[in-house]
Chains A and B, each alone.
Chain A
């Protein structure tokens, strides 16, 4: 449809290519360095897989990875559930309350991580100091920062992303499908599970993948609400980075990059399949 005209300025092409170069140059350098036998990336001293071997042997990393995945799975599950429900409510509601609700779901997307982190830390600290002793005497559990607080924080910031992705899918959803289902005698629940949910499912899955990635990715908020001994992968990376930049991180970066490519590719496919079916 859009015809390409030869008289177009070359500037946008140049900017696009330069930006891509800018985006990938550091990543490529890291990838190259990960196969370098030298500990510091400056000089090429020969091809080696030793950093990858070291990576897989590191107990610390496996421990951090297990924690990260555990947190990611649980918070993805709950944030997807809550996010999808809120998207449905937002899509259907028309009253004045909607604006407040919308702001409540939308603003966490732009609020800086550090504000989310500190506000949640303060919530936990004040709650624990206010009713920690009472809680311990009644339930016998000491309230403290730890995996639970990390998971609660992750659910909170992932939820909004899921809601936005699902809402986007819902807004393209043809409401006459629901009417058609009612018209053919289906009940509300039947319609939801056989028509609405299957149609928005790619959006829900994309939202879940998004939440999963965000959870794995998060450093700042986790750093604020974690307990003393908790380590996730980003926490591990950060603390290793502060003590120099050990080459083992190069190998870790490459693996992360490959995983991200696969994840993004799958999500894109899921979100774009609607254009194929509607042609």
Chain B
């Protein structure tokens, strides 16, 4: 026993040290630098100040934060709403081959270069592109409407990017779901939709929670998508952080914004994991009562 935990220590040590130095420690630095003043040549000044935090009261920020928030929520909701029926369909598909093929087709965009995907949308929504021509032709939009560089384009590409993220964890759980439970429910008189709601959804709830986390959190930090397909009116927090770093060279300000984003990341993370723990505890209690 003693010997094995000794070996364990050495197995885990390199990665532990690495992550503390290059992941945990830098996050601390971000939090600390929010209390430093900037210096004139784009570096970090000396001394401590609350000035940077005060600057966060920039009048344009509330709108940006709100946009980041609701775009994250909407894209998460849409992704889950799409991923659940897909997982349901996939796990009910009897042919193993067909199932693997569809899964492969869903994963490929997930693995395809992120920039290539955004690029594809820029081509697709291009003012000179075939899609735009088609829409104008059938009279859905007037010639003057731009498909690109607005928040709808940002939202569409975000959903496009995160759908595979949502499908994978939900399908992983759904695959193990015992579908005879659905048949039992129907046998007892439940409608298909009732059985879907009351039996299937609770059965895959763990997958849904994972999907919420892996979509919502990265969506809060989206930066490249609004930068490349969005316009000046569809900026998100991520863009602002990048601007402060690369344009204004104000690292403390970027830190303060990042700290804000971090709140948006770790609060849901902790919330969801607490909720899971609570559920598990209740489950165990219920089992114990039996």
**Contact (Cβ within 8 A) B88 A234:** no
CA A156 to CA B112, docked complex, whole Å: 21
Distance in Å from the Cβ of A115 to the closest Cβ of chain B? 6
Interface check A253, CB cutoff 8 A: yes
**Contact (Cβ within 8 A) A224 B94:** no
**Contact (Cβ within 8 A) A112 B113:** no
Give B159's nearest chain A residue, CB to CB.
A22
Distance in Å from the Cβ of B94 to the closest Cβ of chain A? 5
Give A240's nearest chain B residue, CB to CB.
B119
Considering the complex, which residues of chain B in the window 61-118 have a beta carbon less than 8 Å from any beta carbon of chain A? 82, 85-86, 88-92, 94, 100, 102-109, 111-118
Interface segment out of the listed B50-58, B128-136, B279-287: B128-136
Distance in Å from the Cβ of A153 to the closest Cβ of chain B? 8
B 202-234 binary contact with A (CB < 8 Å = 1; else 0) = 000000000001100110111110001000000
- Count of chain B residues with Cβ under 8 Å from any Cβ of A? 90
A134 CB contacts on chain B under 8 angstroms: none
Interface check A2, CB cutoff 8 A: yes
**Contact (Cβ within 8 A) A119 B26:** yes
**Contact (Cβ within 8 A) B18 A156:** yes
**Contact (Cβ within 8 A) B221 A115:** yes
**Contact (Cβ within 8 A) A12 B89:** yes
Interface check B155, CB cutoff 8 A: no
A11 CB contacts on chain B under 8 angstroms: 85
Given contacts A29-B129, A111-B217, A260-B108, contact A268 B100 (CB under 8 A): yes
Interface size class of A (residues with CB under 8 A): 35 or more
A 150-186 binary contact with B (CB < 8 Å = 1; else 0) = 0011011001000100000000000000000000000
CA A90 to CA B126, docked complex, whole Å: 48
Interface segment out of the listed A53-61, A101-109, A140-148, A197-205: A101-109
Interface check A136, CB cutoff 8 A: no
**Contact (Cβ within 8 A) B119 A30:** yes
Given contacts A26-B120, A85-B11, A113-B221, contact A156 B23 (CB under 8 A): yes
Which of B23, B104, B218, B224 has the most A CB atoms < 10 Å from its CB?
A: B23
Which of A19, A88, A217 has the most B CB atoms < 10 Å from its CB?
A: A19
B128 CB contacts on chain A under 8 angstroms: 40-43
Interface check A69, CB cutoff 8 A: no
Given contacts A86-B11, A241-B122, contact A110 B19 (CB under 8 A): no
Which of B5, B85, B192 has the most A CB atoms < 10 Å from its CB?
A: B85
Distance in Å from the Cβ of B250 to the closest Cβ of chain A? 12
A-B contact pairs, 7 of them (CB 8 A): A15-B89, A29-B131, A105-B19, A112-B217, A115-B221, A263-B111, A272-B100
Known: A42-B133, A238-B115. 4 other contacts (CB 8 A): A15-B89, A104-B16, A159-B15, A217-B111
Shortest 8 CB-CB distances between A and B: which pairs?
A112-B221, A89-B12, A119-B26, A86-B15, A42-B128, A12-B89, A26-B120, A89-B11
